[in-house]
Amino acid sequence: MGRKQLGSRLLQMVIVLIGISILTFLLTYLSPGDPVRNMYTSAGIMPTEELIQQTRDEMGFNDPFLTQYFRWIGNCLRGDFGKSYSLNKPVVQLLAARLWPTLKLTLLSMVLMLIVAVPLGVLSAVYKNKPIDYIVRAVTFFGVSIPNFWVGLLLILLFCVRLRLLPVVSSGGTFKDLLLPAVTLAIAMSAKYTRQVRTAVLEELSSDYVIGARARGVRERKILWGNVFPNSLLPLITMLGLSIGSLLGGTSVVEVIFSYPGLGNLAVNAIMSADYFLVQGYVLWVAVIYMVINLLVDISYNYIDPRMRLRR
Amino acid sequence: MEKKSFIRKYPGFCIFAILGFLIILAAVFAPVLAGGVDPTEGNLTDAIMAPSAEHPFGTDKMGRDICARVIYGARASLSSTFILVAVIFVIGTFLGILSGYFGGWVDAVIMRVADMMIAFPGLVLAIAVAGLLGASTKNAIIAIAVVSWPKYARLARSLVMKIRHTDFVAAAQVTGSKTGYMLRKYMLPNTITTLVITAATDIGSMMMELAALSFLGFGAQPPTPEWGSMLNEGRNFMQSAPWMMIYPGLAIFITVVVFNMLGDNLRDILDPKSE
């Protein structure tokens, strides 16, 4: 990616970000609930109609849409995402506190996934259409068809209720708390990645340089681990980057099952209690993080793939 | 050469087509299959009973028969999934063809909106939309449709762009074909096969996303029997009544397997290059 490309990419990102912020704001603006009424009722006060109108005026909820939007985005840019009224804390503080646990969960599940998916994928590609390939393919097929929330529940049933090996509710502090949620996330992902690794390795195996190396008598093992494997890692890196991003937002179901104190759990609770500022902040944060990760993946690709480096 | 019959040639497709059809039949004839047991009526004296001859899958906290609820649950899950896939298929294809055919600002606007939807990872926007619009099956469908159509739009766009500047399209234009005719007669047929394959392989994952939303409480509302929300109810009774979460989960799993297999087999038939 040259400097010019990077520039146009950044410009596109800014346009999309503006769109996302409008959409995020619109979402809460159009939603049927009344944030002011919710604010009072969650504080345990039954507000009168007058009080609601007065507070709406004070907080600027009666201003035109654009005025409200620009005030909100202006505050966001200054790092002020408002205050969560269900938890009575600044939104930034809440999100920042939950970011690390979710990141930890994401990274652990990725590591677990790679430990399973890479060997299985390579094995299945090398022994294509042999019994082991069929077994791996059947297992991965079931892996992608099983809903991860059900896997999570079954794991709890087995390890926490029946065997009593692990705590049912994870506080997110220790490795034990992390293990089951991470395994749950890793199961569905490994199935997907095993297929990807298999496809990538198969593609490399059928390329001309492999035939050349075989003709020159290079040992099969050396071709596989010296040439084919490193080359097939390239598409995998892009996918990993995308997965980190989508996991940051996609762990909510698993976090809810295990009562794990992460971003997704926070967001689900925020939506349940119609905590608009928190929802807005969450959606905006995750979208921005996701886009930044995607950009970093694209940039890093230039450094990893020598062909791209030459092109610059 | 001997002409093979369709069943001989594609045994996998036929088996899973029959299984898929059986699941649909089970949903349609749920009252017959459930033996007249009402899935929403229960007797509290029968609450939380383990599987037995009378209640093969046990009962839930309201004394409702889980077996009947799982069978009736196929209605909610299948109908909402099919509606969802149909909606994203139609919207995505329509916008993608427009985008690819006209190019210019139409393309720019549609694709930037698609970028925005894709920028929200996974279920984030879907959960936000479903939660803020209020929890119901309709809103869950809207929520997932909002984030899923760009995939189809991008695919349709790239397919249209491939043939947009070929000679036969230019010839059709020169001989005075109207735009609507061009879109219907040339653009749509050239995209439809790939998009149908995509839609067929997506049924399983869409079903799981809908179930995930209702599991979180943003989809079908009780007492409607729906697999995702049944799992959610069963979650609280894991210790005393594991059957409450095992059977609905199994129902989702089996249905998703069947429709995924059906999709994969359909892809192999329609697009032999892919394997």
Q: pLDDT tens for residues A88-103?
A: 888 888 888 888 888 8
Could you report the per-residue pLDDT of A2-31, keeping only the tens digit for each? Answer: 677 778 878 888 888 888 888 888 877 777
Which of A145, A252, A290 comes nearest B127 by C-beta?
A: A252
Could you report the per-residue pLDDT of B144-162, keeping only the tens digit for each? Answer: 898 889 989 999 998 888 8
Could you report the per-residue pLDDT of B187-207, keeping only the tens digit for each? Answer: 888 888 889 988 988 899 899
Fold of B10-30+57-270: MetI-like fold (1.10.3720)
The CA-based angle B203-B119-B192, given to 5 degrees, is 40
Q: Sketch the domain layout of chain B as residue ranges.
A: 10-30+57-270
Contact residues, A window 283-312, toward B, CB-based 8 Å cutoff: 283, 286-287, 290-291
Q: Which amino acid is at A244?
A: I
In angstroms, the Cα distances linking B176 to B170, B172, B173 are 10, 7, 5
pLDDT at B178: 84
pLDDT at A33: 67
Contacts of B256 in chain A (CB under 8 A): 145-147
Contacts of A150 in chain B (CB under 8 A): 231, 245, 249, 252-253
The fraction of chain A above a pLDDT of 90, given in percent, is 7
Instruction: Give the number of other CB atoms < 10 A from CB of residue B11.
Output: 11
pLDDT at A172: 53
**B272: preceding bond cis by omega (within 30 degrees):** no
pLDDT at A120: 92
A278 reaches B (C-beta below 8 A): no
Q: Residue B126 and residue A271: Cα distance in Å, rounded?
A: 12
Q: Residue B63 and residue A154: Cα distance in Å, rounded?
A: 23
pLDDT at A173: 59
Instruction: With residue A89 as reference, give the H or E element that holds it.
Output: strand A89-90
If you measure CA to CA, which chain B residue comes closest to A34?
A: B132
The verdict on a CB contact (< 8 Å) between A153 and B249 is yes
Name the DSSP letter for residue A156. I
Contacts of A19 in chain B (CB under 8 A): 112-113, 115-116
Identify the weakest region by mean pLDDT among A66-75, A160-169, B264-273: A160-169
Q: Which residue has the higher pLDDT, B240 or A255?
A: A255
pLDDT at A111: 92
Q: Residue B63 and residue B57: Cα distance in Å, rounded?
A: 12
Q: Residue B77 and residue B80: Cα distance in Å, rounded?
A: 5
The radius of gyration of chain A's CA atoms, rounded to the nearest angstrom, is: 24
Site from A102, A149, A291 to mutate, B interface, most B CB atoms within 10 angstroms? A149
Q: How far is A185 from chain B (nearest CA, A)?
A: 13
Site from B124, B133, B202, B221 to mutate, A interface, most A CB atoms within 10 angstroms? B124
Mean pLDDT of A229-257: 80
If you measure CA to CA, which chain B residue comes closest to A164?
A: B239
How much is the ipTM here? 0.84
pLDDT at B90: 95
Low-confidence ranges of chain B (pLDDT < 50): 1, 275
